[in-house]
Amino acid sequence: MSIENISSAKSFGGWHKQYSHKSSTLGCDMRFAIYLPPQAGNGTTVPVMYWLSGLTCTDENFMQKAGAHRIAAELGIAIVAPDTSPRGDHVPDDENEAYDFGKGAGFYVNATQEPWRQNYRMYDYIISELPALIAEHFPVNENTVISGHSMGGHGALMMALRNPGRFRSVTAFSPISNPVNVPWGQKAFENYLGSKQADWAAYDSSMLMSTAQPTAFTPALVDQGDADGFLKDQLKPETLEQAAKNSGYPLTLRMQEGYDHSYYFIASFIEDHMRFHATHLGLTA
């Protein structure tokens, strides 16, 4: 699997780099960003945090706005930030170019419906193709964690819940916690997965968490701003909190006073999330 470097910049002693590659899973050219801390290389491998971004985002939003490089460099954690959907002129898009569906809004599912099923397979891309590519080309080890924001918070939680033991920990900012019951999720799931709501449950974090067994528990931290304009109608963290109570899931959910849905919020608490992951990676006590 070949990759092409398209940008490089030194940051806190490490390197932020962007690459493109041909994705066999998505049937298009894809771009991802990676931050390699100064500890990586010369025979030393480092763990990886996968970051899944939200609606309208690309690989650039988190890397440029979150301020995560400094703490990643201190802890010795690589960060991989993929794009949020397939791209290209031949990839189908919402006919009205809506921001909440189509390009920029892959929702981290494997689409089963036409015309989406050929390209919109972000679940397989994140779980299988991209990690194999990263392992082949970069000095990383098998220890991984996953995080995300909004649509990406949904993706991070859902992937950790569906793949017990795959990730040492999971964190999310403002996740779409119960997509089967909110407009963003309903629109995406009906188009990508069809009208049978029973098929949607496999991608709903609250439903998955509510029935999770102790052998499938992955330590989770979620931060949600109480001034988030999407809180009531789209995010519904209370469903996730109730799901954790139902199953005894190890979830810490923090409501943060005055914070909204923006990257100011993420930048304010990303260090907490990185240190949470470092603890579960065995990097810190």
Active site residues: 150, 228, 261
Contacts of residue 181, defined as CB under 8 A and 6 or more positions apart, other chains included, come to: 236, 239
Residue 241 dihedral angles phi and psi, to the nearest 5°: -65, -40
Tell me phi and psi for residue 212, to 5 degrees. -65, 145
179 exposure class (CB count in 10 Å sphere: 0-12, 13-18, 19+): buried
Element (H, E) at 253: strand 251-256
Residue found under tokens 């899931």: 249
Cβ burial, residue 174 (10 Å; 0-12/13-18/19+): buried
The beta strand positions in 2-57, using DSSP E, are 4-11, 14-23, 28-36, 46-52
Q: For residues 106 and 139, is the Cβ–Cβ distance under 8 A?
A: no
For residue 52, which phi and psi values (nearest 5 degrees)? -105, 120
Output the CA–CA distances (angstroms, integers) from residue 5 to 14, 68, 112, 163, in the order listed: 16, 21, 32, 30
Whether a cis peptide bond, with omega within 30° of 0, leads into 115 is: yes
